[in-house]
């Protein structure tokens, strides 16, 4: 049986809540195709790094970050109502480039195989 840290459990709960908000509540077109990939909570649960991914150009990503930043006060307010925490975490959005990195590695492997 695996034991998880409290910050991991809270991070997973925060990820689910934010994903639900993006899907059903936040109507900003800049964040329409954003997927929350993970949430990294600090040990004291006062900060949350929210990693997201999306397809598109760098301009689309910048617009998505701006849209998420503009929705952050709403997100924090709703987290305060839905997740029982002593403190509402400070939210920081970061682009998760692991999908792009994986695609690049896969493309390089395929090019190597063809040669």
Give 21-66 pLDDT, tens digit per residue. 999 999 999 998 899 999 999 999 999 999 999 888 889 989 999 9
This prediction's pTM: 0.81
10 touches 45 (CB < 8 A): yes
Q: Which two tokens stand for residue 61?
A: 């990503």
In CATH terms, the superfamily for domain 6-114 is: K homology (KH) domain (3.30.300.20)
In the chain, where are the structural domains located? 6-114
Give 73-106 pLDDT, tens digit per residue. 999 999 999 988 888 999 999 998 887 788 888 8
Cα 13 from Cα 18, distance rounded (Å) = 9
Which residues are bridge partners to 52 per DSSP? 36, 95
According to the model, what pLDDT value does residue 97 have? 85
């Amino acid at each position: 049986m695996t034991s998880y840290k409290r910050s991991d459990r809270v991070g997973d709960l925060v990820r689910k809540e934010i994903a639900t908000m993006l899907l059903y509540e936040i109507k900003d077109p800049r964040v329409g195709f954003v997927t929350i990939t993970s949430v990294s909570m600090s040990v004291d649960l006062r900060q949350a790094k929210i990693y997201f991914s999306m397809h598109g150009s760098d301009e689309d990503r910048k617009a998505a970050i701006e849209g998420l930043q503009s929705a952050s006060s709403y997100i924090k307010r709703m987290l305060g109502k839905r997740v029982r925490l002593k403190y509402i975490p400070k939210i920081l959005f970061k682009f998760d480039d692991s999908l792009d990195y994986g695609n690049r590695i896969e493309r390089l492997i395929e090019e190597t195989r063809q040669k």
